[in-house]
Chains A and B, each alone.
Chain A
Amino acid sequence: MNIHEYQAKALFEQFGVAVPKGATAQNASEFEAALAKLNGADGYMVKSQIHAGGRGKGTFTNGFKGGVKFSANKEKALENAKAMLGNTLVTAQTGAEGRKVQTIYFTEAANLGKRADGRDDEYYLAILLDRATSRPVIVASTEGGMEIEHVAHATPERIFKVHVDPAVGLQAFQARQIAFALGFSGDLFKQCVTLVTKLYHFYWEKDCAMVEVNPLLVTKEGKLLALDAKVSFDDNATYRHPDVVALRDLNEEDSKEIEASKFGLSYIALDGSIACLVNGAGLAMSTMDIIQHFGGKPANFLDVGGGASKDQVTAAFKIILGDPNVKGILVNIFGGIMDCDVIAQGIVAAARETGLTLPLVVRLEGNNVAAGKATLAASGLKLVSGDSMADAAQKIVALVAKQ
């Protein structure tokens, strides 16, 4: 689960991690009041709040450039905020449709410190799971303000990692190792040790999947601040954090994916024309792959889980049919434990209930498959039976191509 930057910063503050002072507004009438809470001596930052990266370099569909803007004074901040709020921001991560900005986050602009070579004094800090060791890893770099993948590729020696032993948690010497690796001394060294320690505490206590601060920066006044904040949570652990669940913004999620989750379906929208309905995540992914292998484009990932009951299949069909790009459906069920005939009856009932007219190819395999195929054949529905995944994929691709 993802949250907005302003929500992440509020949690940072709660855990004692230093951030620039900020205030939010959900409509234009709140702009003045939000700005009044801030000290604009060094100007303001006006930041569009959407769950996607690349905001600064993004463009609004109305032509306005930049989803994050420095504004020297209050008038400029108001002007920028008006241009962003309610408009759709397209960034490298949003896809062409972009995301509507529904919250503006104003912060006090920080007075950037400079390094000897004249560059801004920016760093990178992240905490996440290292899958290879099954331990949390803290990743730090002197190269802040750019994509860490780029730094890892170009200058891997400037990335420093510390693995945390979950039996004892982050140790003081490890926080010091990071502060030394980033080249801090004196008061900034102390600030860095404190910030890393508190950030780790937050990551661990709130069951975060990832915490990323990019950039972490040093101001002219010698203060270490988390200038940006990207936080995501482990979906399996949100049940023990009602305060985190309360931060969920349904506007940022695909409505079809929300609907699917209500029926225990795992659905992800894609941009192709062949929908698929499959039991099991691995099989669902490889069904998408095989559609593409035979020249089609998958419209979605959809895992109905182990059961594939009539209600689930009906709900799945309704969600699939809500996507106007869908031109055909491939159902691929390996009925291991479940009786294929029961699944077939569910598919037939769901097709009838939803008034399905699109080409439908069904591939059933497993327990009592002959009876299942007979049920499909006797249904009177215009559906095609596939013998293997390959056969079924080729059939649906051909049917959709004919249209």
Chain B
Amino acid sequence: MSIFVNEKTRVVVQGITGDFGGRHAKLSLDYGTQVVAGVTPGKGGQVFEHGGKKVPIFNTVADAKRETGATVSAIFVPPPFAADAILECVDADLDLAVAITEGIPVKDMIRAKRAMEGRRTRLIGPNCPGIVTPGTGDKSHGGCRIGIAPGYIHKRGSVGVVSRSGTLTYEAVWQLTSKGHGQSTCVGIGGDPVNGTSHLDVIKLFNEDPETEAIILIGEIGGSAEVEAARWIKANCKKPVAGFIAGATAPAGRRMGHAGAVIGGADDTADAKIRIFRECGIEVAQTPSDMADALLRVWKKR
């Protein structure tokens, strides 16, 4: 098992004819992911070819779903059109929309999130590295890679990883893999202030997933999502959790790269979040180099 996606998941790529979307569609195909369709309005009927594979392109997400059975979309559409692309997935009743796009206006996301209430489609992101369920082949080949993460750093196993940041996720995954510990699923929920799936949503799914035995929770300054997840973990989580919060040295009031990474008050500093992690029984990594070791300290105890 895994969460959200597995090796059989059929993926459509919105923006497959763009540089960014095309490059990562190829990498996903190389990884063995079932990329079965592309969507670019006006280019329906064309074919995206890579490594001997032919991926049909459709004008709409609904067409792609009907013709190929795709259930999950990877969105690489430029910011002004990205909220529209997300809502097209909702209209087509996909299971999951993974929005990689960085720089979507907050107002667009406020509206899109409201329009998704009560609908079946789940959103991951935006401004996220995506999601990887590693495969069982060499260098985790054969898995489901949706987004921009490097596939080969993964290894199939039993640690769930959830993070707002891309490269910090890779750092944690690489530490785990280097120490011989694989991952069930790695989820980048994105660095924007309005996103579709929270740390808590992912933690709940990891808690229920039989393959996931332990969890790494990576957060940063800004907002209260990590605190909400930590409180839930204390009350409900059956599995060992290690955590890291980036931004201990960030000055208040400045956006640190991510639109959502800004200290707004006394409660969303790194120190405040780390304190609550400790109160909730989460093993805190001292430095970003210590993420895998922090998990092993609590995982071994059990």
Contacts and interface: CB of A to CB of B under 8 A. Distances in A.
B110 A282 contact: no
Given A167-B114, A236-B105, A389 B193 contact: no
B251 A281 contact: no
Interface in B144-160: 148-150, 152-153
A86 interface: no
B193 to A, nearest CB: 5
A268 B166 contact: no
Interface string B106-131: 11111101110000000000000000
Contacts, number: 169
Interface residues of A, number: 54
Contact of B256 (A268, A293, A337): A268
B105 A237 contact: yes
A235 B106 CA distance: 9
A281 B257 contact: yes
A280 B105 contact: no
B258 A281 contact: yes
B107 A207 contact: yes
Given A165-B114, A166-B111, A366-B170, A301 B79 contact: no
- Most chain B CB atoms below 10 A, which of A281, A284, A389: A281
Nearest to B225: A131
Given A289-B246, A289-B248, A390-B287, A283 B106 contact: no
A316 B194 CA distance: 30
Contacts of A293: 248, 286-287
A270 B248 CA distance: 13
Contacts of B266: 149
Given A131-B260, A132-B224, A285 B246 contact: yes
A131 B194 contact: yes
Interface residues of B, number: 65
A366 B150 contact: yes
Interface in A270-312: 270, 278-293, 298, 301, 303, 306
Interface of A is mostly: mixed
Interface string A365-398: 1110000000000000000000011110100000
A207 B167 contact: no
A136 B194 CA distance: 11
Contact of B223 (A131, A306, A389): A131
12 contacts: A131-B260, A149-B265, A165-B114, A167-B111, A270-B249, A282-B163, A282-B167, A282-B169, A282-B257, A283-B171, A285-B257, A301-B257
Listed from nearest, the 5 A-B pairs whose CB atoms lie closest are A282-B165, A281-B257, A280-B167, A336-B150, A282-B168
Interface of A: 93, 129, 131-132, 134-136, 149, 165-167, 204, 207, 209, 234-237, 239-240, 266, 268, 270, 278-293, 298, 301, 303, 306, 334, 336-337, 365-367, 388-391, 393
